[in-house]
Amino acid sequence: MTISLHPSTLPAVLSPVLTPFTADGSPDAEKLLKQCKWLEANGVGQAIFGTNSEANSISAPQKMAALTKLIEGGLNPGHLMPGTGATSIDATVNMTRHALNHQCAGVLMLPPFYYKDVTDDGLFAYFSEVIQKVGSAALQIYIYNIPPVTKINLSLSLLERLAKEYPKTVVGMKDSSGDWAYTESVIKLLAPSGFRVYAGSEVFLMRALRAGGVGCISATANVNPKAIADLAAHWRESNADQRQAALDQVRGVFSKYQMIAGMKTAVAHFSKDPEWLRVRPPLMQLSADQQAQLLSELAAIHFSMPGL
C-alpha cells in the first residue's frame, strides 16, 4: 500500500506543552502562548493538550478557547498538533473541527479510554465515526497510543485497518507504549506507506529515526527543547549517540519525580514565575524538599533553560 500524502509541515520534535493555570484553575492562555513561542524558537512544535498538558483535567470549551487565543497570538498552526481525543465522540468531533478551523497541521487523538477490554471493531467504529462526522479532507489524525495510562492496546491490525480505510486521514501516530519492539513493528509495517510514527519519548529518538520513524513527541521537550531538536536535525552525524546519551541523562533526572509537577518546577524556577507550579487535581505540586532536590540534581548536570 503506497499512498501519496501531502508533505507534513510538522517538525520532527513536538512537545505536549505544559499548561499554566490561573488561581481559579483555568488555563492561562497568555502564559501558554509565551511558552509555545519559546518552544517554537527552539525548534520544537506544539502538541498542546496532550498528557503532560493535563488535557483530561481541562474541559473541551476551555481547550478550544485557549487554542483560539494561541492562534490570535501569532502561533504557527503548521506546527500545532492539538490533542482532541476524548471518551465522548461529540467532544472529540467538536475539538477536532475547531483545530481544523484554525488550520492546525494535525490532531493527536486518544482512543476512548474509559471502557477497558474493548474490541478492535469497537475502536475502529469510534475513529470511523469521528472521521465521518468531522467530514473534512483536510483532517490529519495522529493516533495516540499510551497504554500505560489508557490501559487500551492498539493492535497492529487495527492501525493497519485504519490506515488502509482512511489513508489520507489517519496519517500517523504517537507511540507512548515505552515498548520499543512495538514501536519498531509499527514503523516497519506502516512507514513505507507514508505513515508517520513519532516515538513518545526522546529516549527512543535515535532508534525511531534509524528505523524510519519521523521523530518524537516527548514530555521533556518542554524543558530541553533545543537539544532534542538538534539531535533530530543531526542524527546522522558521528556524535549522535553521544547527544542521545546527554538527552537520556536529563530525562533520567525528571523521571525520578512526578513528571508534570517536576517539569513545572523547572519552568517556575528558570522563568522566575512561581505561578507555573500550579497543577490540577488529582496531581499535586512537588513538596518543597522534592523541588529543592530536583533543582539540585539539575544544577549538578549543568542544566538550564536559556531564553525562557
Task: Please say if the pLDDT value at position 1 is more than 50.
Answer: no
Question: How confident is the model at residue 92, as a pLDDT?
Answer: 98
Other CB atoms within a 10 A radius of the CB of residue 278 amount to: 19
The C-alpha atoms of residue 8 and residue 106 are separated, in whole angstroms, by 9
Contact 286, 267 (CB under 8 A): no
The C-alpha atoms of residue 41 and residue 43 are separated, in whole angstroms, by 6
Q: Do the domain assignments include residue 106? A: yes
Task: Please say if the pLDDT value at position 230 is more than 50.
Answer: yes
The whole domain housing 222 covers 13-235
Averaged over 28-55, what is the pLDDT?
98
Indicate the DSSP class of residue 103: T
Q: Do the domain assignments include residue 296? A: no
Q: Do the domain assignments include residue 5? A: no
- Burial code (b: 16+ CB inside 10 Å, e: under 16) for 75-90 equals bbbebbbbbbbbeeee
Averaged over 43-60, what is the pLDDT?
98
Task: Please say if the pLDDT value at position 7 is more than 90.
Answer: no
Averaged over 55-64, what is the pLDDT?
98
Q: Do the domain assignments include residue 25? A: yes
- The domain total for the chain is 1
Q: Do the domain assignments include residue 271? A: no
Query: pLDDT per residue over 128-166, tens digit each?
Result: 999 999 999 999 999 999 999 999 999 999 999 999 999
Q: First vs last Cα of the chain: how many Å apart?
A: 44
Query: pLDDT per residue over 10-32, tens digit each?
Result: 999 999 999 999 999 999 999 99
Contact 197, 214 (CB under 8 A): yes
Q: Do the domain assignments include residue 277? A: no
Q: Do the domain assignments include residue 191? A: yes
Q: Do the domain assignments include residue 136? A: yes
Query: pLDDT per residue over 81-137, tens digit each?
Result: 999 999 999 999 999 999 999 999 999 999 999 999 999 999 999 999 999 999 999
Question: How confident is the model at residue 119, as a pLDDT?
Answer: 98
> Of the ranges 7-11, 55-59, 105-109, 188-192, which one carries the lowest mean pLDDT score?
7-11
Question: How confident is the model at residue 79, as a pLDDT?
Answer: 98
For residue 189, what is the domain's CATH number?
A: 3.20.20.70
pLDDT band at 5 (very low <50, low <70, confident <90, very high): low
Q: Active-site residue numbers?
A: 144, 174
Task: Please say if the pLDDT value at position 2 is more than 60.
Answer: no
Query: pLDDT per residue over 288-304, tens digit each?
Result: 999 999 999 999 999 99
Say whether pTM exceeds 0.85.
yes
> pLDDT > 90: what percent of the chain?
98
201 three-class SS: coil
Other CB atoms within a 10 A radius of the CB of residue 172 amount to: 26
Indicate the DSSP class of residue 5: P
Averaged over 238-248, what is the pLDDT?
97
Is 217 annotated in some ligand binding site? yes
The C-alpha atoms of residue 282 and residue 113 are separated, in whole angstroms, by 18
Averaged over 245-271, what is the pLDDT?
98
